[in-house]
Structure 1
Amino acid sequence: MDAETLSRRTLRFVNVAHALDHFVLLIYPTAVIAIATQTGLSYGELIQLATGAFVAFGLCALPMGWLADRFGRRTLLAIFFFGYGLSCFGVASAGNPTAFMVWLCVLGLASAIYHPVGSTMLVSHARRLGRDLGVNGVWGNLGAATASGVTALLATAFGWQAAFVVPGLFCLACGAAFLALVPGDGTGSQGQAGAKPVIPVARPIPLLLVFAFAIVAGGMTFNITTIALPKVVDERVGDGLPLLLIGSVATLVFVFGALTQLLMGRLIDRYSLPVLFLGLSVLQPLGLGLAAASTGVPLLAGLVLTMAALYGQVVINDAMVARYVPPLYRARAYSVRYFLGFTISGFVVPMIALLHDRGGFGLVLGIAAAFGAVIFAAALGFFVLTRQPVSRAVAPAA
């Protein structure tokens, strides 16, 4: 198989995997509304059972870059597809809180594979970094966007178990097709992101620390918003809305994030990453603050701004790793990036439950707005540090 065909096929499966990664991980936060009705357990009790899934999502991302370097990225992505499918069946079979907790942990372990492995595969095969990152981001966003609506539809029509079984079957089919159509990792058709020179910086350590703060705070706002969104719509847009309508409104909010990712992908190929990051970082504290202080349509407007900023930042941060980290260390850098972003933020699930019980979603979203302010401060620091002149002694080789 020629390099061009391999790159096209690889990118297609990487995009589908990104959609599935976010779709499957967000089934439970919507399905939990139906599960609560059936079991009689409270939302707070049930949502806490997903803590292990979201912690594993980040914690287990750390070794995935090393495993991909050792066993091959194709092998790891195939395990992702099959592991996701089997874990979906496990959650559907759960009949008590312990079983839910165990199978959700397995699901989180499988989900941890995608970002460090898929991001590295994308950058290796991309022809235009910004455009391909933007398109890939849209696939992930559409997975997150449709999770609420599709889950609500399946749960309403066939029971909450179907919301896991149907995606599980699709994951297994994708895994079989991937193994059949993509014979190996390959080197890509180059001329691409991996071949571009690394951007030199004057003070790499402070820059890494600032970037780490942005990643951790961004992971917090991302998980708080995406996990709580269906219940926020349920309580603060219209109390007593049917589950199907709740899922549809949540899906509509996610769609705006997809549009932002397309825009960011185009802008990355034209403008400075620090400038784009700084401009986008203003939207998170603004949108979350508006959502925390309002209900109804103003709350939806705040959530739209927030979702646009959240998903735009994902594209920009992935582009930063691609442009500031040498190709040899890129898979491990993505592992660390997602480890930081998702491990700590995995603990937002019990935090949501605790804050919701004490102050409702006004308090939950207010705390998220504070993390949004941290992102703005980090983006400002990143902008300042990258403006400092670089001496030849500290500039890395291209």
Structure 2
Amino acid sequence: MVHTYELSIPILIPLWLAEFPVTQSTVGAVVAAGYALFGLGALPGGILSDRVGSRRLIAACLFGMAGSFLLLSVAPSMLVVGVALVCWGAAASVYHPSGLSLISTGVEDRGDAFAYHGIAGNVGIALGPLAVTLLLLVADWQTVTAVLAVPAVVAGAVALRVRFDERAAVTETDGGDSKSDVGVSSVSEFLAESKTLLVGPFAAVFLVVMLSGLYYRGVLTFLPDLLSGFPSFAPVEFGGRELQPYRYAYSGLLLVGVAGQYVGGKLTDRFATERALAAAFGALAVLAVVFLPAADAGLVPLLAVGALLGFALFVVQPLYQATVAVYTPAGTRGLSYGYTYLGVFGVGALGAAIAGGILQYADAPTLFAVLAGFAVVASGTAAWLSSR
């Protein structure tokens, strides 16, 4: 549900640009504000996860996201759209630190768990935009966003009822902590644990995840708008309706990410995650360079490179999730993932604003050159970490 909402937003951006008197730069800043809260709230969410447990936080996240999209459905202006997106970001922010902490402390086969968890996320990532695309054939965007709120309410009710041992996989040797050593209970303890994390090798992991977030948000936020301008995706008439092929191509690219998540999760059990991250980010740098030339070469090259981009973009996620688990103690795993998603979605949200500004004042080749730069630095950092 988190990713269903997250990736339905870019599909709505062309509609907001058409309905409200705003520029790409303005929309990029508004969307970035919502995505920023998605990341900034991860740190307090991680602290709460260590103290009160994951289940209740996940239920609150689901109900909060549903309410935010109901507000979005009645938004009369871009200002209210921005308020609704900020509310969504705040509600969604607690999910990743609580959900990933739950996996890392409650499941012994972490690699498989991260893989299946990633697959579920990518199902939402792909089916969210597809559901919005199909619903837009029969309803306006306000009705569509209201309908999207319903499944989150159902999922929240389920989350309130399930029971499980959240720390079943924690042992005395897991990060040097015991089962009873859980979380931080004071400001001084928070500062001490944060210092321990951020002056060690986790700092390099933190840099990698920030760059991953900048690339991820920078490429996906305006990709539907970019695809809509390619001749290969010109609107077509079918059954008396005008179809927008770029929306289906965008959903397909994201659906390929299911395979990327699965492969990335499996790689965590078979290779050093730092080396795998270096290779994956190297591939992302190459794909950023060749994406626009492939688009100019025709539909088939564009689809091929788009599929590879969708695959590589999501291979990295289980890899850095597992890397965090290796470099951090179990007792503050929620705090660790809080910092991780502060980097991925908080700092990473700047990718949306950066992309909007570049497209407004420069051009698409400049955007993809900047994205390639992010990937090169991430690849180099992961390679350095591996060498140590």
- The TM-score range, normalised by the shorter chain, is 0.7 to 0.9
| Stretches of structure 2 lacking an aligned partner (at least 5 in a row) | 177-196, 236-241
Are the aligned partners of 1:287 and 1:302 in contact in 2 as well (CA < 8 Å)? yes
Query: 1:172-222 CA deviation, whole Å, 9 max, x = no partner?
Result: 111112212x14x624553xx7677449xxx99462332222111111001
Local SS of the residue matching 1:342: helix
Worse overlay, 204-213 or 246-255:
204-213
| Map of 2:32 onto structure 1 | 51
Which stretches of structure 1, 4 residues or more, deviate above 6 A after TM superposition? 193-196
| Map of 1:117 onto structure 2 | 98
| Map of 1:132 onto structure 2 | 113
| Map of 1:361 onto structure 2 | 364
| Map of 1:231 onto structure 2 | 225
Distance in 1 (CA, whole Å) between partners of 2:305 and 2:172 is 39
Distance in 2 (CA, whole Å) between partners of 1:112 and 1:168 is 17
Query: 1:48-84 CA deviation, whole Å, 9 max, x = no partner?
Result: 3212101101111111111223333221111001001
| Map of 2:317 onto structure 1 | 314
Task: Give the one of 186, 201, 205 matched to 2:165.
Answer: 186
Q: CA deviation at 1:380?
A: 1.0
Are the aligned partners of 1:292 and 1:366 in contact in 2 as well (CA < 8 Å)? no
| Map of 1:273 onto structure 2 | 273
Query: 1:355-377 CA deviation, whole Å, 9 max, x = no partner?
Result: 11233322212211111111111
Task: Give the one of 56, 62, 66 matched to 1:85.
Answer: 66
Worse overlay, 159-168 or 357-366:
357-366
Change in CA separation of 1:362 and 1:156 when aligned onto 2, cut-off 3 Å: farther
Q: How does 1:292-307 map to 2 (within 5 A)?
A: 292-295=292-295, 296-297=298-299, 298-307=301-310
Query: 1:338-362 CA deviation, whole Å, 9 max, x = no partner?
Result: 1122212212222222111233322
Q: CA deviation at 1:28?
A: 2.0
Q: CA deviation at 1:100?
A: 0.9
Q: How does the TM-score come out when normalised to structure 1?
A: 0.84
Are the aligned partners of 1:90 and 1:103 in contact in 2 as well (CA < 8 Å)? yes
| Map of 1:335 onto structure 2 | 338
Q: How does 1:1-398 map to 2 (within 5 A)?
A: 20-39=1-20, 41-180=22-161, 182-183=162-163, 186-187=165-166, 189-190=168-169, 197-198=174-175, 205=199, 207-236=201-230, 238=232, 240-241=234-235, 244-295=244-295, 296-297=298-299, 298-385=301-388
Change in CA separation of 1:260 and 1:195 when aligned onto 2, cut-off 3 Å: farther
Distance in 2 (CA, whole Å) between partners of 1:287 and 1:321 is 26
| Map of 1:395 onto structure 2 | none
Distance in 1 (CA, whole Å) between partners of 2:18 and 2:320 is 39
Paired letter, 2:151: F
Worse overlay, 142-151 or 366-375:
142-151
Identity of paired residues, percent? 21
Distance in 2 (CA, whole Å) between partners of 1:188 and 1:366 is 44
Paired letter, 1:240: A
Distance in 2 (CA, whole Å) between partners of 1:65 and 1:270 is 28
| Stretches of structure 1 lacking an aligned partner (at least 5 in a row) | 1-19, 386-398
Are the aligned partners of 1:27 and 1:163 in contact in 2 as well (CA < 8 Å)? no
Paired letter, 2:2: D
> What's the RMSD between the two structures over aligned residues?
2.3
Change in CA separation of 1:336 and 1:243 when aligned onto 2, cut-off 3 Å: farther
Are the aligned partners of 1:34 and 1:155 in contact in 2 as well (CA < 8 Å)? no
Distance in 2 (CA, whole Å) between partners of 1:323 and 1:134 is 16
Are the aligned partners of 1:88 and 1:164 in contact in 2 as well (CA < 8 Å)? yes
How many correspondences in the alignment?
359
| Map of 2:186 onto structure 1 | none
Query: 1:135-177 CA deviation, whole Å, 9 max, x = no partner?
Result: 1111111211122221122123111013311221110111112
Paired letter, 1:145: A
